[in-house]
């Protein structure tokens, strides 16, 4: 729960003051010291795993520029195995959630250093000569919880040179942090109460309850992930650093391929560039393409967790994409049969609705306590008929009273409204153009809303970020 800790934001405030008080050329050293300090404070001995990855990947990167292709390939393989082994051992041997792992973010910096070594080997970036500067690239603290998985070419050089205060970026960072807290405390943690009830007592809550649980888990995960993305992005922006986009309204996607181009963008891009393309991508025929796609999603499932349900979740998404390619002609024929223009609003609604429903089914498998439980819940969803429970007082037995349900619905509607507006212009950009009085009225109102109505206190438990545990 790093991004929800008062101690963390106190450390960030102190670091900001020091950062902008020292000479611009020395500011990267403040960031490095602060990042390592935060790792030590919030992850304990896990810092040694981080430093191990830094040392190995730095050494391999330097060696790759000097070695012949044959020996360079061997060095790369050894480097990848060395930095991957701690992650694999933790994934395989893990039992339940561990806070230190969530804080440490080992899944993220492992993929980050692998990408760096491969990019150096491919000649796409030059190896960083200064070990301290390279260490900052890996340990930059806003990425601790759940990325994004940064590429050296995008992030590596932003830390250096004469870093001066960018007032506009600083204010946008403040906006993003407010939005992140809204998403987390107004939506994700409040929806999580119902989700925990339905999935924890799935034998009791069947049929339409499963549908409601699936919908709310989809909302919870969306808001939770988006919250952490904006918190990380906002904190980095206050230091004048722009993190790569990691989230782009994925629930508005027309198909599964588009969904994965919008959801956890840095992970999807990593899997595409370093596994899918390495395996041959789509260059060796359709069958080989589909096999590669299945392998990529199996890896994605294993990355998320060691249970069979994660692999099943990955296979579901691979199957969705393969089925989508195989049924293009059928779907076009159905549009013609029912005289629905493919560019019409109805067709778009059908595409987005179908995609969202299929994603929700996969999320049920993802969230269930086991694959067997997931299959029983899906069977209950389609076989048990009890829609009336969604319209009587039954939903108030799931952990939220009427006031909390109303707050959740209103907050979700606000999220939808902002997401729809983002297609035209970013709300934060629009706000920056408004009068100072209006801007601060909005900021203060948002702060009061979060403080007064956020999902914490009696009846609520502060929940760690979901993707921070992977």
pLDDT, one tens digit per residue, over 435-452 is 889 989 999 999 999 988
Which sign does the torsion angle of CA 142, 143, 146, 150 carry?
positive
Burial of 341: CB neighbours in 10 Å, binned 0-12, 13-18, 19+: exposed
DSSP string, 390-426: GTSGGGGGSS--HHHHHHHHHHHHHHHHHHHHTTTS-
> Is residue 27 within 8 Å of residue 19, measured between CB atoms?
yes
Question: pLDDT value at position 100?
Answer: 44
Show Cβ contacts of residue 361 under 8 Å, excluding neighbours closer than 6 positions.
214, 316, 378
Does the pLDDT of residue 96 top 60, yes or no? no
Q: Which sign, positive or negative, has the C-alpha torsion 398, 400, 405, 409?
A: negative
**459: alpha, beta or left? (left if phi > 0; alpha if psi -120 to 50):** left
Strands (DSSP E) found in 99-209: none
Comparing 5 with 27, the larger pLDDT belongs to 27
Q: What is the mean pLDDT of residues 111-134?
A: 93
Q: For residues 302 and 370, give the distance between their C-alpha atoms in angstroms, rounded to a whole number.
A: 14
Residues with Cβ within 8 Å of residue 356, at least 6 apart in sequence: 218, 251
As a whole number of angstroms, the distance between CA 157 and CA 161 comes to: 8
Instruction: Please state, in angstroms and as integers, the Cα–Cα distance from residue 262 to each residue in 297, 302, 348, following that order.
Output: 16, 20, 17
Residue 371 CB neighbours (<10 A): 16
Neighbours of 154 (CB within 10 A): 14
Query: Which range among 80-94, 112-126, 203-217, 375-389 shows the weakest confidence by mean pLDDT?
Result: 80-94
Residue 130: pLDDT band (50, 70, 90) is: very high
- Tell me, rounded to whole angstroms, the distance of Cα 260 from its chain centroid: 12
pLDDT tens digits for range 283-299 = 888 899 999 999 999 99
CB atoms within 10 A of CB 287: 8
Mean pLDDT to the nearest integer, 203-232: 94
Tokens 């089925």 locate to 323
Instruction: Let me know: does 468 contact 101? Beta carbons within 8 Å.
Output: no
263, two tokens:
């959801």
Task: Please report which confidence band the pLDDT of residue 12 belongs to, taking 50, 70 and 90 as the band edges.
Answer: very high
Mean pLDDT of 149-173: 85
pLDDT beyond 90 at 455:
no
Q: How far apart are CA 79 and CA 177, in angstroms?
A: 36
- Average confidence score pLDDT of the chain: 89
Q: Reduce the DSSP state of residue 247 to 3 states and report it.
A: strand
Confidence class for position 147, pLDDT limits 50, 70, 90: confident
Segment 343-383, tens digit of pLDDT: 899 999 999 999 999 999 999 999 999 999 999 999 999 99
DSSP string covering 60-75, please?
A: HHHHHTTS-HHHHHHH
Average pLDDT rounded to a whole number, residues 244-264: 92
| High-pLDDT (> 70) share of the chain, % | 94
* Cβ atoms within 10 Å, residue 369: 13
State the Cα–Cα distance between residues 114 and 79, nearest whole angstrom.
8
Q: How confident is the model at residue 143, as a pLDDT?
A: 87
Residue range 383-419, pLDDT digits in tens: 999 999 988 889 999 999 999 999 999 999 999 999 8
First to last CA, the chain: 14
Dihedral of alpha carbons 149, 154, 157, 162, sign: negative
pLDDT of residue 99: 44
pLDDT band for position 424 (cuts 50, 70, 90):
confident
Q: How confident is the model at residue 102 (pLDDT cuts 50, 70, 90)?
A: very low
CA distance 184 to 192: 10
Which of 10-14, 206-210, 250-254, 424-428 is least confident?
424-428
Residues in the chain: 470
Looking at residue 173, what is its pLDDT?
94
Cα(147)–Cα(332) distance, integer angstroms:
39
The model scores a pTM over 0.85: yes
- Per-residue pLDDT, 97: 44
For residue 116, the model assigns a pLDDT of 95
- pLDDT beyond 80 at 306: no
Give the mean model confidence (pLDDT) for residues 117-140.
Answer: 93
Q: Which pLDDT does position 423 carry in this prediction? A: 79
As a whole number, mean pLDDT of residues 77-105 equals 70
């Amino acid at each position: 729960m790093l991004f929800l800790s008062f101690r963390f934001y106190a450390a960030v405030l102190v670091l900001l003051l020091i950062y902008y008080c020292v000479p611009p050329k020395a500011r990267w050293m403040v960031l490095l010291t602060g990042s390592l300090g935060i790792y030590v404070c919030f992850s304990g001995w896990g810092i040694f795993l981080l430093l191990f990855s830094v040392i190995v990947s730095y050494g391999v990167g330097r060696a790759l520029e000097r070695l012949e292709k044959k020996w360079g390939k061997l060095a790369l393989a050894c480097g990848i195995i060395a930095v991957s082994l701690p992650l694999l051992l933790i994934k395989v041997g893990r039992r339940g959630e561990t806070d230190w792992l969530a804080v440490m973010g080992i899944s993220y910096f492992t993929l980050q250093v692998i990408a760096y070594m491969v990019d150096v080997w491919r000649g796409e970036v030059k190896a960083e000569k200064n070990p301290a500067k390279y260490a900052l690239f890996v340990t930059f603290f806003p990425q601790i919880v759940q990325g994004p998985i940064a590429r050296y070419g995008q992030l590596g050089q932003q830390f250096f040179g004469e870093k001066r205060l960018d007032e506009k970026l600083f204010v946008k960072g403040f906006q993003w942090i407010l939005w992140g807290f809204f998403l987390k405390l107004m939506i994700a943690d409040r929806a999580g109460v119902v989700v925990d009830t339905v999935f924890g007592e799935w034998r009791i809550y069947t049929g339409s309850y499963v549908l409601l649980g699936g919908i709310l888990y989809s909302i919870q995960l969306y808001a939770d992930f988006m919250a952490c993305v904006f918190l990380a992005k906002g904190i980095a922006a206050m230091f004048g650093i722009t993190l790569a986009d990691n989230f782009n309204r994925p629930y508005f996607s027309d198909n599964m391929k588009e969904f994965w181009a919008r959801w956890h963008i840095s992970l999807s891009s990593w899997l595409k560039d370093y596994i899918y393309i390495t395996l041959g991508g789509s260059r060796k025929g359709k069958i080989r393409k589909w096999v590669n796609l299945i392998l990529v999603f199996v890896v994605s499932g294993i990355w998320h967790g060691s249970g069979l349900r994660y692999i099943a979740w990955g296979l579901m998404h691979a199957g969705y994409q393969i089925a989508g390619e195989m049924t293009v002609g059928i779907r076009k024929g159905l549009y013609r049969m029912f005289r629905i223009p493919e560019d019409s609003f109805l067709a778009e609604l059908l595409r987005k609705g179908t995609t969202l429903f299929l994603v929700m089914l996969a999320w049920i498998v993802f969230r269930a306590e086991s694959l067997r439980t997931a299959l029983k819940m899906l069977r209950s969803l389609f076989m048990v008929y009890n829609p009336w429970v969604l319209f009587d007082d039954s939903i108030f037995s799931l952990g939220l009273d009427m006031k909390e349900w109303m707050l959740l619905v209103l907050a979700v509607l606000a999220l939808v409204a902002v997401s729809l507006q983002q297609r035209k212009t970013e709300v934060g950009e629009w706000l920056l153009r408004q009068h100072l009085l209006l801007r601060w009225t909005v900021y203060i109102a948002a702060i009061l809303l979060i403080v007064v109505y956020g999902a914490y206190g009696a009846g609520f438990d502060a929940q760690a970020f979901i993707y921070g545990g992977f």
